[in-house]
């Protein structure tokens, strides 16, 4: 996630490229000065030598020959409370945040939005750590706050002490504490006085996300566009053909973005399939809602001074067994979503790269493999379990002649 070598020039040859609307097999990706310059199929280009004839700026450029591999845009964890033993509510300084960023980097995640419940101390500590860490904004755009203005009836994993009545003074206090870093905030749309709160947060540039709500369709007070929905189906009324709950709204084409937890635990297979088919691919965002134990062996952890247990059933409060987060991350979510819904891999990757980048306002340069965009990419093995940055292979790859043979990969070949 600390992209020291992102400005490089190189070719990736033989991989299957995961584009925003298809997978291009056995292709060549040409990167110049850290941006994608060419995307060429095998039919268009049979060898890197031909590219140098077409574009002399690629003469003598290092080549990564990686057959039996995928190249995908860096994934985005847009709703993540923690991972790898770090809970973002407990971050004490920049080193811990950098360690969490490096942990996510190893999972193929190039951008994340640390997510908190309302706690003034935790918010102030996280803001200070973000500023001191110097993590680029394209990798850490800001933070996500779930609440505090949500419905206690649908609090889900939010503890009562992290919920407050609607209060414009507190809303401004939150913005002051966030110091311009609040990117997303979850609000319940049925609460009295919520409309001025929308205006306060949206006026400060935050994306309002509707959730933790007991609303019926007729009681909704909607914010101005763009707005989002927080983890569809979880902590809200489900789809109903008469009164309807907040979940109905997700299928109305009104929300600009709709989060869905694709871990296979928070949402069952039938509702994941419904989401995949009925929500626009320009709106659906896959999230993990991961917490402190994500990416680690199952075990016991602490979350806002509460004991939680990570098992094959997700992460739950130890005292009441309420599901409060996921222990899966990044490509684990993508793989599970494709398995449960049978959507193509590119569509699931898009929902965890390009669409959240749009929601975060950084899709002009990031989020997909397209000409002109920053080459914020990973090379994956065909099982989508091991992610490697191209420059890591260039730094450690062997030198091969122009006739160098293929390797099952991602094994790098530097060829001149």
Question: From the DSSP assignment, how many helices (H) and strands (E) are in the chain?
Answer: 11, 23
Give mean pLDDT, residues 26-47. Answer: 90
Are the C-beta atoms of residues 120 and 112 closer than 8 Å to each other? no
C-alpha distances out from residue 254 to 81, 158, 217, 383, Å? 27, 26, 12, 36
C-alpha distances out from residue 177 to 78, 128, 147, 174, Å? 21, 10, 15, 5
Note the pLDDT of residue 42: 86
DSSP H helices, 109-220, are: 120-133, 168-178, 194-203
Q: Tell me which architecture the domain covering 10-72+369-415 has in CATH.
A: Roll (2.30)
Are the C-beta atoms of residues 214 and 151 closer than 8 Å to each other? yes
DSSP H helices, 264-407, are: 269-278, 331-341, 345-350, 354-360, 390-396
Kindly report the number of other CB atoms within 10 A of residue 305's CB atom.
10
Give mean pLDDT, residues 79-102. Answer: 95
Q: Which CATH superfamily is domain 75-360 in?
A: Metal-dependent hydrolases (3.20.20.140)
**Model confidence at 185: pLDDT above 80:** yes
Look at 224 and 2; give whichever has higher pLDDT.
224
Q: What percent of the chain has pLDDT over 90?
A: 82
Look at 46 and 86; give whichever has higher pLDDT.
86
Q: What is the tens place of the pLDDT at every residue in 319-366? A: 999 999 999 999 999 999 999 999 999 999 999 999 999 999 999 999
Note the pLDDT of residue 243: 86
The DSSP line for 54-112 is H-GGGTT--EEE-SSEEEEEPEEEEEESEETTEEGGG--SHHHHHHHHHHHHTTTEEEE
**Model confidence at 375: pLDDT above 90:** yes
Note the pLDDT of residue 388: 95
Of 7-16, 38-47, 350-359, least confident by mean pLDDT is 38-47
Note the pLDDT of residue 54: 82
**Model confidence at 300: pLDDT above 60:** yes
Note the pLDDT of residue 396: 60
Of 86-100, 274-288, 385-399, least confident by mean pLDDT is 385-399
Q: What is the tens place of the pLDDT at every residue in 221-274? A: 899 999 999 999 999 998 988 888 999 999 999 999 999 999 999 999 999 999
Please, what is the average pLDDT of the chain?
A: 91
Note the pLDDT of residue 5: 59
Q: What is the tens place of the pLDDT at every residue in 137-161? A: 999 999 999 999 999 999 999 999 9
Annotated domain spans of the chain: 10-72+369-415, 75-360
| 9/17 Cα distance (integer angstroms) | 18
| 276/341 Cα distance (integer angstroms) | 7
Beta bridge partner(s), residue 316: 309, 323
């Amino acid at each position: 996630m600390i992209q020291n070598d992102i400005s490089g020039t190189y070719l990736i040859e033989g991989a299957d490229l995961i584009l925003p609307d298809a997978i291009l097999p056995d292709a060549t990706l040409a990167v110049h000065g850290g941006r994608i310059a060419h995307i060429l199929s095998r039919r268009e280009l049979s060898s890197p030598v031909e590219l140098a004839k077409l574009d002399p700026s690629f003469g003598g450029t290092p080549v990564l020959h990686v057959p039996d591999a995928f190249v995908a845009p860096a994934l985005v964890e847009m709703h993540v409370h923690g991972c790898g033993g770090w809970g973002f509510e407990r971050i004490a300084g920049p080193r811990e945040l950098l360690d969490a960023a490096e942990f996510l980097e190893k999972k193929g995640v190039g951008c994340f939005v640390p997510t908190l419940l309302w706690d003034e101390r935790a918010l102030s500590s996280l803001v200070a750590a973000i500023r001191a860490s110097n993590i680029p904004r394209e990798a850490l755009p800001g933070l996500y706050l779930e609440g505090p203005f949500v419905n206690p009836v649908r609090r889900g994993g939010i503890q009562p002490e992290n919920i407050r009545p609607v209060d414009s003074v507190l809303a401004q206090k939150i913005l002051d504490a966030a110091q311009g870093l609040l990117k997303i905030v979850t609000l319940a749309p049925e609460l009295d006085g919520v409309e001025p709160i929308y205006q306060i947060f949206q006026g400060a540039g935050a994306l309002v996300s509707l959730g933790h709500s007991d609303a019926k369709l007729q009681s909704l007070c909607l914010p101005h566009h763009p707005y989002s929905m927080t983890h569809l189906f979880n902590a809200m009324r489900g789809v109903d053909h008469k009164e309807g709950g907040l979940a109905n709204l997700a299928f109305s084409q009104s929300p600009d973005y709709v989060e869905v937890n694709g871990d296979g635990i928070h949402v069952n297979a039938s509702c994941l399939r419904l989401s995949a088919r009925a929500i626009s691919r320009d709106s659906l965002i896959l999230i993990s809602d991961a917490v402190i134990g994500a990416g680690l062996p199952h075990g016991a952890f602490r979350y806002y001074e509460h004991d939680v247990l990570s098992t094959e059933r997700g992460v739950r409060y130890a005292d009441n067994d309420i599901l409060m987060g996921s222990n899966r991350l990044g490509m684990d979510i993508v793989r599970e979503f494709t398995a449960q819904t049978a959507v193509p891999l590119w569509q699931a990757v898009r929902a965890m790269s390009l669409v959240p980048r749009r929601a975060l306002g950084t899709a002009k340069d990031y989020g997909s493999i397209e000409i002109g965009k920053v080459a914020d990419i990973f090379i994956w093995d065909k099982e989508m379990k091991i992610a490697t940055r191209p420059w890591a292979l260039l730094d450690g790859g062997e030198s091969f002649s122009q006739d160098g043979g293929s390797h099952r990969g991602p094994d790098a070949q530097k060829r001149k």
